[in-house]
């Protein structure tokens, strides 16, 4: 009967005998756990030498000696010599040191679980009978995928210090929510949510998860930012996990920095799970690459709240792509300033409404015609505006666009 135990190896000596494929794989695993790893092998693999050259492990290029096991908390015998592995296991038995015999799961005193990490949880699977690494790995993978979907309730049942997790949910499409974001949402006791992003995920939460809607629209800000900060801190101080569910990425015009600062100032632990920003993903899904060698080698992401910012005009004049968020109402001012500064009137403009969703719509114009075209089309937020050569309709289908790429490749 095998007892599954989690070992804290951080800062502790772990000896791996055998620096081949198996030994190196185990070494990487222990390094992730923060262990001090000693690799012993008279003929280590090139990969083992590479890892040792970075100073991550101590490499002994000689045969193993019983004294090498002194002060070790865990030993792995992973050579290609079954007899040597058995001797190492016997030495460990004499010294009462846990040992994994990679060539014979029956003779060692320990087994390394096939595991996957999900936030502050780790799933581990071991064989309770004869060792079967492929079987336990398959079970581990299946369980891990289930957790990654967010379908497992990961909330804490023992009250500890409360915390806040800022989760970027991407532009809204199901496949663009990160695994880490879904797992964080599954830990929530309270969700403080925006209007945009993958809000459909909230319908999958258990009924007793409290959802606080603080969403804003261009003309309606029912909950000021200071109040949002207070809500986050207040709920966390009761010992609950608070997920701040935000569209896009928390740090790309999502005021995430202000919320992190408020939590830290209040002494509340806070972490950030980055999201796929709509500034890049929405144009990409609409067939617009914001950069392309030989055409647009830089990109400026700015907010429409900045209005006719000189930086925007300068970027357009320099041939950069400009991506504007929250800019539908300020676009007339921005286009007028660009034309006044000498930006080409026929420079393409594309506006992507409700990007990544089933209601996505792309409207094309130029700097000179954008105001009239957008008004006629009735363009409304949320929308992402892209200005630059890459915003032209059929840009990726135009063979001329590929010419600079070939020229660069031939240099």
Handedness of CA 216, 222, 226, 232 (dihedral sign): negative
Phi, psi of 142 (to 5 degrees): -65, -45
User: Do residues 174 and 196 make contact, with C-beta atoms less than 8 angstroms apart?
Assistant: no
pLDDT confidence of residue 407: 45
Residue owning tokens 């846990």: 98
Average pLDDT over residues 220-231: 88
Q: What is the pLDDT of residues 88-129, one digit of tens each?
A: 999 999 999 999 998 876 677 888 888 888 887 888 888 877
**Is 189 a known active-site residue?**
no
Average pLDDT over residues 29-43: 93
Cα 69–Cα 73–Cα 79 angle in degrees, nearest 5: 50
Please tell us whether the domain made up of 13-113 is placed in CATH 3.40.50.720. Answer: yes
Q: What is the pLDDT of residues 240-266, one digit of tens each?
A: 999 999 999 999 999 999 999 999 999
pTM across the whole model: 0.76
Q: Is the pLDDT of residue 220 over 50?
A: yes
| Mean pLDDT, the chain, whole residue set | 90
Q: Which fold does the domain 280-397 belong to in CATH?
A: 3.30.950
User: Do residues 300 and 320 make contact, with C-beta atoms less than 8 angstroms apart?
Assistant: yes
Q: What are the structural domain ranges in the chain?
A: 13-113, 163-276, 280-397
Kind and range of the H or E run holding 166: strand 163-168
**Is 346 a known active-site residue?**
no
CA torsion angle 292 304 354 368 (round to 10): -70
Q: What is the pLDDT of residues 312-324, one digit of tens each?
A: 999 999 999 999 9
Same fold for the domain at 163-276 and the one at 280-397? no
Q: How far is CA 5 from CA 26, 36, 112, 125, in A?
A: 17, 20, 10, 11
Share of the chain above pLDDT 70, in %: 95
User: Do residues 244 and 167 make contact, with C-beta atoms less than 8 angstroms apart?
Assistant: yes
pLDDT confidence of residue 104: 73
What is the 8-class DSSP label of residue 3?
Answer: P
Average pLDDT over residues 375-384: 94
Catalytic pick among 41, 189, 194, 309:
194
Q: Is the pLDDT of residue 239 over 70?
A: yes
Q: Is the pLDDT of residue 199 over 90?
A: no
Tell me the sheet residues that pair with 117.
122
Who's near 360: CB < 8 A, 6+ residues apart?
Answer: 285, 286, 352, 353, 354
Architecture, CATH, for domain 163-276? 3-Layer(aba) Sandwich (3.40)
């Amino acid at each position: 009967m095998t007892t599954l135990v989690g070992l804290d190896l951080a800062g502790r000596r772990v000896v791996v005998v055998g620096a081949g494929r198996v030994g190196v794989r185990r070494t990487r695993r222990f390094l992730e756990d923060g262990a001090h790893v000693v690799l012993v092998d008279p003929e280590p693999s090139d990969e083992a030498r590479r890892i040792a050259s970075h100073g991550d492990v101590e490499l002994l290029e000689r045969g193993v000696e019983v004294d090498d096991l002194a002060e070790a908390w865990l030993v792995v015998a992973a050579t290609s010599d079954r007899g040597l592995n058995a001797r190492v296991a016997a030495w460990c038995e004499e010294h009462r040191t846990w040992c994994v015999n990679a060539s014979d799961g029956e003779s060692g005193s320990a087994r390394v679980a096939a595991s996957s990490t999900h936030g502050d949880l780790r799933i581990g699977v071991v064989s309770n009978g004869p060792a079967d690494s492929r079987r336990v790995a398959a079970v581990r993978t299946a369980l891990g995928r289930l957790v990654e979907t967010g379908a497992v309730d990961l909330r804490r049942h023992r009250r500890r210090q409360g915390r806040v997790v800022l989760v970027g949910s991407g532009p809204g499409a199901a496949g663009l929510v990160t695994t880490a974001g879904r797992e964080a949402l599954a830990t929530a006791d309270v969700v403080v949510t925006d209007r945009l992003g993958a809000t459909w995920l909230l319908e999958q939460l258990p009924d007793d998860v409290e959802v606080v809607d603080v969403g804003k629209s261009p003309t309606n800000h029912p909950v000021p930012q200071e109040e949002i900060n207070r809500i986050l801190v207040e709920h966390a101080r009761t010992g609950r996990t608070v997920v701040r569910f935000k569209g896009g990425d928390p740090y790309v015009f999502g005021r995430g920095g202000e919320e992190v600062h408020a939590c830290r100032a209040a002494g509340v632990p806070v972490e950030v799970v980055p999201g796929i920003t709509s500034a890049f993903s929405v144009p990409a899904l609409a067939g617009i690459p914001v950069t392309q060698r030989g055409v647009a080698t830089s990109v400026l992401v700015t907010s429409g709240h900045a209005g006719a910012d000189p930086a925007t005009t300068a970027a357009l004049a320099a041939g950069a792509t400009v991506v504007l968020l929250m800019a539908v109402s300020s676009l007339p001012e921005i286009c007028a300033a660009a034309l006044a500064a000498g930006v080409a009137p026929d420079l393409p403009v594309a506006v992507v409404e409700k990007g990544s969703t089933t209601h996505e719509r792309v409207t094309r114009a130029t700097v000179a015609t954008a105001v009239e075209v957008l008004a006629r089309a009735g363009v409304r937020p949320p929308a992402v505006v892209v200005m630059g050569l890459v915003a032209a309709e059929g840009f990726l289908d135009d063979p001329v666009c590929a010419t600079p790429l070939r020229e660069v490749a031939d240099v």
